[in-house]
Amino acid sequence: MNLTRDLTSSKAIHVKGVLFVVLGLLSAALLLAMIPTWRAVALLAICVWAFCRFYYYLFYVLERYLGRKQRFAGVWDAIRFLISEPRTGDRDH
């Protein structure tokens, strides 16, 4: 079993997506069960929203608007690109 190869089965990809949703909902429910306040609900919602926007930035904005020519392999690949890429100034459109 090679754990580093790409996942190609559409069924396995869908199962993985559903498992991420279940994991997210379960962890949110457990957190809110521990701290059942409106403040905790609001902070959790802001946290999820902010990380979703960051993910969008890494995989859409950098590629489409900032000239990245090839796709990133993952989040760490995108962050390494941000850290190591020399800055030549803002691009004009």
What is the domain extent for residue 19? Answer: 10-84
Decide: pTM greater than 0.95.
Answer: no
Res 1 pLDDT > 80 = no
- pLDDT tens column, 19-47: 999 999 999 999 999 999 999 999 999 99
Indicate whether 3 belongs to any domain: no
Indicate whether 18 belongs to any domain: yes
**Per residue in 15-53, is it b (16+ CB within 10 Å) or e — as a string?**
eeeeeeeeeeeeebeeeeeeeeeeeeeeeeeeeeeeeee
Indicate whether 24 belongs to any domain: yes
Reported confidence tier of residue 93, pLDDT bands at 50, 70, 90: very low
Indicate whether 80 belongs to any domain: yes
Indicate whether 89 belongs to any domain: no
Indicate whether 92 belongs to any domain: no
Indicate whether 59 belongs to any domain: yes
Total domains in the fold of the chain: 1
Indicate whether 77 belongs to any domain: yes
